[in-house]
Amino acid sequence: MTDDVYQKLAEHLDTLPQRYPTNTGTGLELKVLRHIFSPEEAEMAVQLKPLPEAAADIAARIGKDPAETEAFLMDMSRKGQIMRTGKAGAHKFMAAPFMVGILEFQVKRFTKEMIEDLDAFDSILMEHTWLKGRTRELRTIPVEKTVQNNTEVMPYESAEAIIRSNQLISVAECMCRKISEVKGQPCDRPLEVCLQFGGATHFYVDNGLARRIDQDEALAILKQSVESALVIQAGSTQNPGGMCMCCGCCCKPLTMYRKMDKPARYANSNYFAVVDEAACTACGICETRCQMDAITVEDFSRVDPDRCIGCGLCVVTCEFEAIRLQKKDEAHQWVPQKDYMAAIMDIYRERREG
């Protein structure tokens, strides 16, 4: 009976645009959900729609007491099992996708047992979700000053512009490096660097997952992240709700890309690195900073365009200005949707067509 509850939850999550694996033959899709949801919580999560509803409306629909339902939903939202919108006294609740969503919201709740099952589940999860279609939940943003001078950088391609356009900002610990820490394999790169904007800030701060910061601190975090060779990845809209600073050793998408022969085909990025062979001194710094193993150094640095995801980390430390980012031709550029709902509908369509 208990398995039936989690099977229903897996199937419910798979109806959301981002999808979730079901009937994998491993049972891992259910084991992972058991770490996060009690049977009662799983039963409630199955009842939620992908659009916000008042607790009273949900209670009426499922035949439960309104006050008890609201208290239960509030508790679930604080655990990051579902989404909560609106202000106190006027909250609404909705289903949350597993990734990006429920999984990231567990950043303060990870256990070694949960992580062991997540590690075994990773490849199944990513193949069923992230790799389907063209639109990913995250897109690579280049370090702006690394782009060729004659190239127009759109505001949505500038991490600094995105930060400066937001008044509500918070910072949380990176989920992926937190997992490594709980496993006893801590990454040496900064941990508290995951930025949220707008409504996401309210959710993260109110749930104790993040702290409020101002634009200056956010820009300082961005600077520190670039210095630490972290890839900037933002949500796949022109006004993203969050921005991650990712390493190739812990980040789930980047570690998956890194194992591929041609990760550039999968990362949503509009740039690639090019080397001025005459100016290059073969110092090798760019090679050590690259998170995709896209650079090899012999007489000069060589960039594999099939592996380069256009982050620009190789450029910022080149004292000889021997490497720059070049924009892809128009046929290979990817323009993010203006708002979240449009991006989600792209994901919904693509992951069912693919």
Give every residue of the chain whose pLDDT is below 50, as ranges: none
Helix (H) or strand (E) holding 302: strand 301-303
What residues have CB less than 8 Å from 105, skipping those under 6 apart?
Answer: 79, 80, 81, 96, 207, 209
Helices (H), 245-339: 252-258, 285-289, 313-316
Task: Please give the pLDDT value at position 150.
Answer: 61
Backbone angles phi, psi at 70, to 5 degrees: -65, -40
Query: How do 295-297 and 301-303 pair as beta strands?
Result: antiparallel
Task: Please give the pLDDT value at position 160.
Answer: 95
Tokens matching residue 270? 């509009």
Task: Please give the pLDDT value at position 83.
Answer: 96
Fold matches, 2-128 and 262-332: no
Residue whose entry in the numeric block shows the structure tokens 């190739």: 248
Per-residue pLDDT tens digits for 43-91: 999 999 999 999 999 999 999 999 999 999 999 999 999 999 988 888 9
Rg (CA), the chain: 21
Q: 2-128 has which CATH code?
A: 1.10.10.10
Tell me how far apart the alpha carbons of residues 228 and 212 are, in angstroms, rounded to a whole number. 23
Neighbours of 330 (CB within 10 A): 7
Task: Please give the pLDDT value at position 213.
Answer: 99
Domain ranges of the chain: 2-128, 142-257, 262-332
Tell me how far apart the alpha carbons of residues 342 and 103 are, in angstroms, rounded to a whole number. 22
Q: Does 262-332 carry CATH code 3.40.1190.20?
A: no
Q: What is the pTM of this model?
A: 0.93
Task: Please give the pLDDT value at position 154.
Answer: 79
Task: Please give the pLDDT value at position 153.
Answer: 76
Beta-strand (E) ranges in 50-140?
Answer: 53-54, 82-85, 92-95, 138-140
Tokens matching residue 227? 């210095």
Neighbours of 3 (CB within 10 A): 11
Task: Please give the pLDDT value at position 54.
Answer: 97
